[in-house]
Amino acid sequence: MSQDKQITIVGALNAALADAMADDEKVLVIGEDVGDPEGGGVVGVSSGLSTRFGDHRCRSTPISEQAIMGAAIGASLIGFKVVAEIMLMNFTAVAMDMIVNHAAKLRYMSGGQTSVPIVIRCMTGAGLSTGGQHSDFVEAWFAHTAGMKVVAPSTTEDAYGLLRAAIDDPDPVLVIENTPNYSAKGPAPVAGHRVPIGKAAIRSEGSDVTIVAYSRTAIESIAALPTMAEAGISAEVIDLRSIQPWDEEAVLASVAKTGRCLVVHEAVTPFGPGAEIAAVVQERLFGKLKAPVMRFGAPFNAVPFSKVLEDMHIPKSARITERAIAMVKG
């Protein structure tokens, strides 16, 4: 595939599903509106799949999140690899019993006799004025659950590669897609590309501060680089890509070099993934830190509707720059 070819995140995800279904007939896709008669998914991620592979392999469901997850779990227990779309991340709350009490735990509770190799795809993220129940980042719920894996791609290549890796994976993997980022374009991934779960990407090398981010905040952090450079700050941006497990090795190596760590995420700050990352960094690198490890997440409130408030809810690049300057220059 030509490196020059550009596709959207939606296109990359669609290609990942199509390639996985072509490679393995055990791969199935279910969810609300995923079939072509229903539009191939509300943003088109599953477009063309039911036509190409049959509506028995890409099947629209009732609006029944528990039933969707139960169907995915049950079929996966006997060898199918089901990619279940829970349209919006907030709606995982409706299926939490199936995900947390069953998908995540059946392997352990059965002493390894059964396993649940499912993928749960969902979209989320503030920025489109969809308010408090359509745009939350609630990855901490899942990252806190033993048995679950959680990934959050921010580029076309990672969207393809992480979704393929998630489908290959022997355990339940939650794939978080960022709604405002769906139409962003990037290089078309090479067919069959995989991004290992648990491996971060260093987006820019720097010496003064390590910025750990993922999903939209990785993009915002990269966007902040020029203004940070103007202020004389050399930032190393790590796109975590996987939240559970997260790449401790890459983060610790970077912070050991820079001596400063700023964790940025769109989830609310208290008890968010940043708390875990900050704790591990200070446990391992206490004597090497030049400043306290800092977190920059969303404030502790629901996502607001009004554009002015919503803009302030998201950790955007200008404010990431401010935080980084404060950390480095004191």
Residues that bind another protein (CB under 8 A): 28, 56, 59, 61-62, 64-67, 69-80, 82, 97-98, 101-102, 106-115, 117, 146-147, 149, 168-171, 197
Q: Are 139 and 273 in contact (CB under 8 A)?
A: yes
Q: How far is the CB of 198 from another protein (least distance, A)?
A: 10
Helix, strand, coil % over all residues of the chain, rounded to 5: 45, 20, 35
Strand order in the sheet with 119-124: 58-60, 27-31, 81-88, 119-124, 173-178, 149-151, 242-244
Burial of 118-128, coded b for 16+ CB within 10 Å and e otherwise, reads bbbbbbbbbbe
Give the whole-angstrom CA distance, residue 73 versus residue 110: 14
Give the whole-angstrom CA distance, residue 239 versus residue 237: 6
> Is the omega angle on the peptide bond into residue 245 within 30 degrees of 0, that is, cis?
yes
Look at strands 149-151 and 185-187 and give their pairing.
unpaired
Q: Which is nearer to another protein, 37 or 270 (CB)?
A: 37
Q: Which is nearer to another protein, 36 or 168 (CB)?
A: 168
Q: Can 134 be counted among the known catalytic residues?
A: yes
Of the candidates 134, 193, 265, 313, the residue annotated as catalytic is 134
Q: How far is the CB of 94 from another protein (least distance, A)?
A: 9
Q: Which is nearer to another protein, 107 or 216 (CB)?
A: 107
Q: How far is the CB of 42 from another protein (least distance, A)?
A: 20
Q: Are 267 and 299 in contact (CB under 8 A)?
A: no
Q: Which is nearer to another protein, 68 or 320 (CB)?
A: 68
Q: How far is the CB of 85 from another protein (least distance, A)?
A: 15
Give the whole-angstrom CA distance, residue 123 versus residue 58: 19
Q: Which two tokens stand for residue 246?
A: 């997260």
Helix (H) or strand (E) holding 238: strand 235-239
Q: Which is nearer to another protein, 97 or 311 (CB)?
A: 97
Q: How far is the CB of 255 from another protein (least distance, A)?
A: 26
Q: Which is nearer to another protein, 62 or 330 (CB)?
A: 62
Q: Which is nearer to another protein, 36 or 322 (CB)?
A: 36
Q: Largest Cα–Cα distance in the chain?
A: 60
Q: How far is the CB of 50 from another protein (least distance, A)?
A: 14
Q: How far is the CB of 28 from another protein (least distance, A)?
A: 8
Cβ atoms within 10 Å of 170's Cβ, excluding its own: 12
Interacting residues of 68 by C-beta distance below 8 A, sequence separation 6+: 30, 31, 32, 61, 84, 85, 86, 95
Task: Enumerate the active-site residues.
Answer: 134
